[in-house]
Amino acid sequence: MCAGPAGLMAAWWMARCGTKARIIDKRGTKVINGHADGLRPRTNEFFDSMGGGIIEKLAKESFIFENLKNWFRDSNGQLIRAGTQQLQGDYVNDLPSPFLATTISQGRIERFILDSIAEVSNGGFKVERGVVAESLVYDASQENNPHNYPIQLTLRTLSDIEANPPPAPGAFGGRDVIAKGNLPDDEVHQESGTSGSPGHVELVKAKYVIGCDGAHSWLRQQLNYKLEGASAHSVWGAIDIVPMTNFPDIHHPSFIKTELGILMIIPRERNMTRLYVPLDTASSNERLDRSSVTLDQIFQKAKKFFQPYTLDFKVCEWWSVYGVGQLVAERNQHPSARISLAGDAVHMHSPKIGLGMNTSMQDGYNLGWKVAMAAAGIVRDEKALLTTYVGERYPIAQRLVAYDRTLFGEHGIVDPGEYLKQHERFKEFADGFKLDYPESMLVAKTLSNQAAATGLIIGESFKHQRVLGHVNSQLYWTTKLFQSDGRFRIVLLAGDVSLPNQMARVNTFCKELDEEKKDRNGNATSLLRTRYPYCFVQPSPPLLRNALATSQHPAISFLHERPCKSMIDLLAIHSTVGSTDSISMFDFPVALYGPFDADYHGWDHTRIHVDQAVHYDRYCDGLAYERWGVDRTKGAVVVIRPDMHVGWVGDLEDTQAIELYFSTIFK
């Protein structure tokens, strides 16, 4: 429910996997402008894995968030720049991610996800707008049968005035588009209104429900889950303007600290800047009434911060007023695991930390493929699979609010120096790279040998690197290799295959996983090919042929459209130094390039890669093994989950442990 960032990410998985699902939103139209505006590196990695050109669209429009400037007013009333702090980290030597933190409006992000949903579902999966849930009934007696539908919802279609209530003149929260002329054309002419006849009531039965319906979540209230934490103690205004000013750092992230408090500057796409303006102070005796605040009041307060510099605007896309509240729902999932909450329905905090939308989308991304897999009926224990969402994402919600409280306190105010100190302390968590997912059926720490790849921590995000195609000499970020299609990846870090003994180990490893073995029922199956058949939707062959006919680069466009046969994919990245001319693709086991496809593809040239430096790309530097903590001679094996988290690590001889890992997950 609700087509916000968390809901759209979960919906994308439903569309991509062909899961029969519906997404409803009481708003008559999507978010167009304003709201959240920051993207962290880990979220951008998801978008690259999802394909559909999302990351390219974001790169074209977004604004890199770097070089925080600190300003203060001196005793003479002048604004002085106190210093500059680098925010992104060392991207030449450390390379924490292929992507940077950027800023772009939530409306554009939602636009790109919606376009991708339409693409992966061939237009068959759409948001039902102007529809609201009014009752929820849960029948616990049906929850243990995976074929039953224990959830019953009553849905009602709203009238246009209910779905698109007009804002009062000068009212709090200018959620209407104030300056359409500054928006991209594809945002101005969007669908609005309701999806059906106003007043239509429908009874819907469901196996699973995901509530992404915001801070005032209807579903959370139906479940009677309380909010824990501190309510708002201060009021801030947020305005998105195209600034007209002589302030030199208006297009740099900046703090301005004066006797009025601390103003925050967030540069944005399309020459915009967001200003976070404090409207009261911690010493105020009376709490400010947010509903009484106008856009002009926010702007006049902002002008005082910038003096003696001037500030004006003619274009304001959006403005709002909010109180700093730091709250976490007492649960994010029903005990049955059939009903889950995500996004702001679980965690609420100051928007100034730039993590709310990211954490929400990561909630939806984490949960979406699990629900799709449970709905497909292929997992051994659906409830155990779905409850991993609680163990993985609920502690993130708690840490997120604790981070906000540490950074901004209960009043949303922090000294810039303290901000930088805490930013550095929480940076890995904030960027999405230190989440500490616990042991579960998906995170097999006990079953693993972490020493085989010390830089690829079990339960954490895979550390993406740039590698070279062994056969085709193309460059790939591993985000592209781990496409979001619901499959698990066995990544064979094959070591130095120029050594005969090491190539022999590679052959033995692939033979162990590829050969057919009898199960307890006497059926012979191969882990890589037949034991766990691919259960999600495949690209339509006619559409593929049409894509080939119209594409300017058919070989590239068709590269990753090979139909999936198994829920487990195998690819290799070896570490041979120097020329690999003497090592043919056919020297590797056939499991890494076959079987031969006589209709369209021939052999698969895209699953063997090498960690080797090339002179024409500084990111493909041949240091991936070092960053992964893997011995360049003997290699290692890593299992990557569909959400690109590390599920298992071990040596090439640990094939029984790999088979046990998957037998715990799949039927």
Distance CA 646, CA 607 (A): 19
CB 453, CB 649: distance < 8 Å = yes
Cα distance from N-terminal residue to C-terminal residue, the chain: 30
CB 79, CB 28: distance < 8 Å = no
DSSP characters for 277-321?
Answer: EE-S-TT-SS---GGG--HHHHHHHHHHHHTTS-EEEEEEEEEEE
CB 331, CB 391: distance < 8 Å = no
Three-state secondary structure along 4-49? Answer: CHHHHHHHHHHHHHCCCCCEEECCCCCCCCCCCCEECHHHHHHHHH
Q: Which of 5, 16, 27, 37 is catalytic?
A: 37
User: Order of strands, edge to edge, in the sheet holding 131-138?
Assistant: 131-138, 151-157, 201-206
Distance CA 439, CA 433 (A): 17
539 a catalytic residue: no
**Would you tell me how many other CB atoms lie within 10 Å of the CB of residue 629?**
17
111 a catalytic residue: no
The 8 Å CB, 24+ separation contacts for 145-152 are 146/207, 146/374, 146/377, 146/382, 148/207, 149/205, 149/206, 149/207, 150/207, 150/336, 150/338, 151/205, 151/206, 151/207, 151/208, 151/209, 151/338, 151/339, 152/203, 152/204, 152/205, 152/206
The CA–CA distances, whole Å, from 590 to 290, 509, 579 equal 66, 12, 22
CB 252, CB 308: distance < 8 Å = no
Amino acid at 184: P
Q: What are phi and psi of 134, to 5 degrees?
A: -120, -15
Helix-strand-coil split of the chain, %, nearest 5: 30, 25, 45
37 a catalytic residue: yes
Beta bridge partners of 278: 236
Say if strands 79-85 and 131-138 run parallel, antiparallel, or are unpaired: unpaired
Three-state secondary structure along 185-242? Answer: HHHHCCCCCCCCCCCCEEEEEECCEEECCCCCCHHHHHCCCCEEEECCCCEEEEEEEE
Distance CA 54, CA 112 (A): 6
Buried (b) or exposed (e) across 432-464, using 16+ Cβ within 10 A?
A: bbebebeebbbbbbebbbeebbeebbbbbbbbb
Beta bridge partners of 155: 133, 202
Distance CA 444, CA 638 (A): 11
CB 370, CB 386: distance < 8 Å = yes
Distance CA 350, CA 236 (A): 10
Q: Which of 156, 175, 220, 268 is catalytic?
A: 268
276 a catalytic residue: yes
CB 353, CB 407: distance < 8 Å = yes
Q: Which of 276, 322, 389, 394 is catalytic?
A: 276
3-state secondary structure of 91: coil
Q: Which of 41, 351, 589, 642 is catalytic?
A: 351
The 8 Å CB, 24+ separation contacts for 138-142 are 138/334, 138/336, 138/338, 138/339, 140/336
Residues tagged active-site: 37, 268, 276, 351
